[in-house]
Amino acid sequence: MTIALSIANLTAAVGGREILKGIHLDLPFGEVHALMGPNGSGKSTLCHVLSGRHGYEVVGSASLAGAPLFGLDVDERARLGLMQGFQYPVEIPGVKLGEFVAEAAAEAGMGEDEIERRVAEAAEKFDMTRFLERGVNEDLSGGEKKRSEIFQMAVLGPKVALLDEIDSGLDIDAVREVAEAVEVMRSPEVGVLMITHYSRILRYVIPDRVHVMVDGRLVDSGGPELAEELEAGGYEAVRARLGLVPGGENGQAKGPETKMTDLFTDLPFET
Ligand code: ADP
Ligand code: MG
């Protein structure tokens, strides 16, 4: 089993405040892992730290197909094969999607013919043909933006795909569409880390593993049944089983200022 993404003992802080508190995670090629957790648990921070966004004090290690990531710039990590699908994809008016993705593919060393073929195939597969001549994400619906992220991944062929809340803000039909696109991405050449707050997308994408992040730590990992437990009982059920109290160090309560209500009512399933 070759590891696409390996994270060991990763901590990350901003301005002295620790957000990630010792993350270990192995994502093999060919697998889709779901990373779930309440709002504010550190999921996006993990993505940003892996992608190379500045401003974090990072300790620990992360490697992509065996190559260390930390110390490399964002573009160097991308060249190695790391790609992040954003929670909020930005609109880039005036830059056509087709040209944008072709340029990125050329930067990645693909020849013209291959680029043309891959863009056409992926556009067909993800129903993006009519968007190729339009500005990147310009006036696209939420679901179309997320599909566009996956389309770009299909052209560029990352080794590791980080999908940050690929399902957030979408209606149920769009969630199903995006989920199908994630299933299409599944291949022995890529490891997919699908970050989600809600378990509803996991009705359509069956992950190989589910990891639960609470307060900057992975408190539980398991098979798809873990997502079912979350859908049925929320993060509260997982906390109760693990004996965690929300809000504090190692899940231990900190004090009266801790916002308990937010975490207790934070059900991962949205009707
Ligand atoms: P999630 O994606 O799980 O909702 P985030 O990774 O966005 O969580 O945030 C985790 C915690 O870290 C939150 O409490 C957030 O306010 C804090 N945080 C994230 N980025 C910064 C930053 N740049 N500066 C200060 N605090 C931050
Ligand atoms: Mg987030």
Per-residue pLDDT 10s for the chain (271 aa) are 689 999 999 999 999 999 999 999 999 999 999 999 988 999 999 999 999 999 999 999 999 999 999 999 999 999 999 999 988 899 999 999 999 999 999 998 999 999 999 999 999 988 899 999 999 999 998 889 989 999 999 999 999 999 998 888 788 888 888 888 888 889 999 999 999 887 888 888 999 999 999 999 999 999 989 988 888 888 888 888 888 876 545 444 443 333 333 333 344 444 3
CATH code assigned at 33: 3.40.50.300
State whether residue 54 is helix, strand or coil.
coil
Evaluate whether residue 79 is within a structural domain.
Answer: yes
Is the Cβ–Cβ distance between 4 and 191 less than 8 Å?
yes
Domain residue limits at 141: 3-264
Is the Cβ–Cβ distance between 238 and 246 less than 8 Å?
no
Evaluate whether residue 270 is within a structural domain.
Answer: no
Q: Whose CA is nearest to atom 23 of ligand 1?
A: 14
Distance 270 CA to ligand 2 centre (A): 16
CA 230-158-140 angle, to 5 degrees, is 70
Q: Whose CA is nearest to atom 26 of ligand 1?
A: 14
- pLDDT for 207 equals 94
Q: Whose CA is nearest to atom 11 of ligand 1?
A: 40
32-36/17-28 β-pairing? unpaired
User: pLDDT tens for residues 230-271?
Assistant: 888 888 888 888 888 765 454 444 433 333 333 333 444 443
- pLDDT for 257 equals 36
Atom of ligand 1 nearest to the CA of 55: 23
Q: Give how many domains the chain has, as a whole number.
A: 1
Q: Whose CA is nearest to atom 12 of ligand 1?
A: 19
Evaluate whether residue 119 is within a structural domain.
Answer: yes
Question: What tokens were used for 92?
Answer: 């880039």
What gap in Å lies between CA 28 and CA 30, rounded to an integer?
6
Atom of ligand 1 nearest to the CA of 41: 3
Using a 6 Å cutoff on CB, does residue 196 contact ligand 1?
A: no
What gap in Å lies between CA 38 and CA 218, rounded to an integer?
12
- pLDDT for 243 equals 85
- pLDDT for 101 equals 97
Is the Cβ–Cβ distance between 50 and 82 less than 8 Å?
yes
Is the Cβ–Cβ distance between 43 and 19 less than 8 Å?
no
Evaluate whether residue 105 is within a structural domain.
Answer: yes
Using a 6 Å cutoff on CB, does residue 176 contact ligand 1?
A: no
- pLDDT for 173 equals 84
Is the Cβ–Cβ distance between 119 and 102 less than 8 Å?
yes
Using a 6 Å cutoff on CB, does residue 87 contact ligand 1?
A: no
Is the Cβ–Cβ distance between 141 and 174 less than 8 Å?
yes
Left if phi > 0, otherwise alpha if psi is -120 to 50, otherwise beta: which for 81? left
State whether residue 32 is helix, strand or coil.
strand
Evaluate whether residue 155 is within a structural domain.
Answer: yes
Is the Cβ–Cβ distance between 161 and 192 less than 8 Å?
yes
Burial class of residue 142, CB neighbours in 10 A (0-12, 13-18, 19+): middle
Evaluate whether residue 269 is within a structural domain.
Answer: no
Entry field: residues in the chain: 271
Single-letter code of the amino acid located at 228: E
- Number of other residues whose CB lies within 10 A of the CB of residue 243: 8
What gap in Å lies between CA 227 and CA 238, rounded to an integer?
10
- Give phi and psi for 140, each to the nearest 5: -85, 150
State whether residue 103 is helix, strand or coil.
helix
Using a 6 Å cutoff on CB, does residue 44 contact ligand 1?
A: yes
Evaluate whether residue 69 is within a structural domain.
Answer: yes
Evaluate whether residue 228 is within a structural domain.
Answer: yes
